[in-house]
Structure 1
């Protein structure tokens, strides 16, 4: 139960969060990071800059 009523923007924000969490998959595997803006998964300033200007 929530302390505040979920109406208007609060309801919209809640539903946005719920929709995003539906696709989260948990596993027992170790965590890893991957930079999605580069094909090899490694962060580069160039990949960040190219995404920023596009």
Structure 2
């Protein structure tokens, strides 16, 4: 339950970042790197939680 909540919070923060006006002035590559970082974090959380490791 806690992992799902954390994942949804990460996804929410990414979508909010996309909507912020200051991000439109940043390079698309930087924004893509930021999204990829969040995706990789999600991936790591998913695999760690599968192994019953507390990631907090």
TM-score bracket, shorter-length normalisation:
0.3 to 0.5
TM (norm. structure 2) is 0.32
Higher helix share: 2
Q: Which has the higher contact order (CA 8 A, sep 6+)?
A: 2
CA radius of gyration, larger in = 1
TM (norm. structure 1) is 0.33
